[in-house]
């Protein structure tokens, strides 16, 4: 399931975050790449101990906690603190699949990456190239979203970032361990939740809503892992 979630960040706070990121101390992104990914990676990242990473990352997590669409789609159990990257002057990241397990910085904890997320800070017309290309069983999907929008997709997907040939592409990226591990099960739960929400608006007094809501929660109970 590939899903776009618009307007995750409020406009004024988005502008403030963007301004801070433009002045940030960017470093060679290959420092965080594994022995295979390092050959494909040519971008910049903020060091994980940079105070800006925690400041903006905490704000993103706060916004996500108040975003019903994100919660309904991801069913998050754990969210790895966001990281930040910059692509410019031909910066790119070739085809790769994200790691299955990530350590949570500063803790002994680890999370399983079920979902990957990219939150855009640059407007599409501010740079050329830089599309996030995600491959799945239905083909290739090219993603280039307005600032403040987020794309959510399975971490097991083959994906890449096309070279940026003009301007700069700023983004946050992070991973989610979901209550529901299987992507097809999450997709069915989201479709059922959407149907329940639509029926609630159209026929709020229908007794069938109670039954459908019960089916949703019993499926979630059956499929969830904590």
Each residue of 67-109: pLDDT tens digit?
999 999 999 999 999 999 999 999 999 999 999 999 998 899 9
How much is the pLDDT for 95?
94
- Sorting pLDDT into bands at 50, 70 and 90, what band is 210? very high
CATH 2.60.120.620 region(s) of the chain?
A: 3-178
User: What is the per-residue pLDDT for 36?
Assistant: 63
Asked whether residue 139 carries a pLDDT value surpassing 80, the answer given is yes
* pLDDT higher at 20 or 226: 20
User: Model confidence over 182-196: pLDDT tens digits?
Assistant: 999 999 999 999 999
Can you point out the beta strands (E) in 30-131? 41-42, 44-45, 76-79, 83-88, 92-96, 101-103, 110-112, 115-120, 127-129
Query: Over the stretch 19-48, which tens digit does the pLDDT of each residue have?
Result: 999 999 999 977 766 666 667 788 999 999
In the prediction, which pLDDT does 7 show?
97
Q: Report which DSSP code applies to 175.
A: E
Q: Is 25 annotated as a binding residue?
A: no
pLDDT score, position 105: 86
**Mapping DSSP to helix (H, G, I), strand (E, B) and coil, where does residue 178 land?**
strand
Q: In whole angstroms, how far apart are CA 154 and each of 115, 159, 222? A: 5, 10, 21
Asked whether the predicted pLDDT for residue 123 surpasses 90, the reply is yes
Residues 160-178 have a mean pLDDT of: 98
Q: What percentage of the chain reaches a pLDDT higher than 70?
A: 97
The verdict on whether residue 96 carries a ligand-binding annotation is yes
User: Pick from 37, 21, 41, 40: which is nearest to 29 by CA?
Assistant: 41
Statement: residue 167 has pLDDT above 70: yes
The pTM for the full model equals 0.94
Residue pair 28/46 in contact (Cβ under 8 Å)? The answer is no
Q: How confident is the model at residue 62 (pLDDT cuts 50, 70, 90)?
A: very high
> What does CATH list as the number for 3-178?
2.60.120.620
What pLDDT score was predicted for residue 35?
61
Tell whether 222 is in a known binding site: no
User: Please, where in the chain does CATH 4.10.860 lie?
Assistant: 183-223
**CATH architecture designation of domain 183-223:** Irregular (4.10)
* Average pLDDT taken over every residue of the chain: 95
């Amino acid at each position: 399931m590939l899903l776009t979630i618009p307007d995750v960040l409020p406009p004024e706070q988005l502008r403030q975050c963007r301004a801070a990121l433009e002045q940030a101390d960017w470093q060679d992104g290959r420092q965080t790449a594994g022995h295979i990914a390092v050959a494909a990676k040519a971008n910049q990242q903020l060091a994980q101990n940079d105070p800006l990473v925690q400041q903006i990352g905490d704000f993103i997590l706060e916004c996500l906690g108040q975003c019903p669409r994100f919660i309904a789609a991801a069913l998050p159990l754990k969210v790895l603190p966001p990281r930040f990257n910059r692509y410019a002057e031909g910066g790119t990241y070739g085809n790769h699949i994200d790691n299955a397990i990530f350590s949570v910085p500063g803790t002994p904890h680890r999370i399983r990456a079920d979902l990957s997320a990219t939150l855009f800070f640059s407007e599409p017309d501010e740079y050329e190239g830089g599309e996030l290309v995600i491959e799945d069983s239905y083909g290739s999907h090219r993603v280039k979203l307005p600032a403040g929008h987020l794309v959510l997709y399975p971490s097991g997907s083959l994906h890449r970032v096309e070279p940026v040939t003009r301007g700069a592409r700023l983004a946050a990226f992070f991973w989610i361990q979901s209550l529901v591990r299987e992507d097809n099960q999450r997709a069915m739960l989201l479709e059922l939740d959407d149907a329940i929400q639509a029926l609630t608006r159209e026929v709020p007094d229908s007794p069938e809503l109670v039954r459908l809501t019960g089916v949703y929660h019993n499926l979630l109970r059956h499929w969830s892992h904590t």
